[in-house]
Homo-oligomer: A and B are copies of this chain.
Amino acid sequence: MTAYPVLSDKHALEEGTVLAPRFDAGGLVTCVTTDAASGELLMVAHMNAEALQRSVETGEAWYWSRSRQELWHKGATSGQIQTIVEMRVDCDQDAIWLKVKVAGDGGCCHTGRHSCFYRVKPLREAAAAPLAFAAE
Binding site for B on A (CB under 8 A): 14-19, 30, 32, 34, 38-41, 43-44, 55-59, 84, 86-92, 94-97, 109-111, 113, 116-121, 123-124, 127, 130-134
Contact = CB atoms under 8 A, between A and B. Distances in A.
A32 B96 CA distance: 11
A89 B111 contact: no
B17 A90 contact: no
Contact of A88 (B43, B90, B119): B119
A120 B56 contact: no
Given A91-B118, A132-B17, A124 B30 contact: no
Listed residue (A41, A59, A84, A123) with the most chain B CB atoms within 10 angstroms of its CB: A123
Listed residue (A38, A88, A92) with the most chain B CB atoms within 10 angstroms of its CB: A88
Contacts of A16: 131
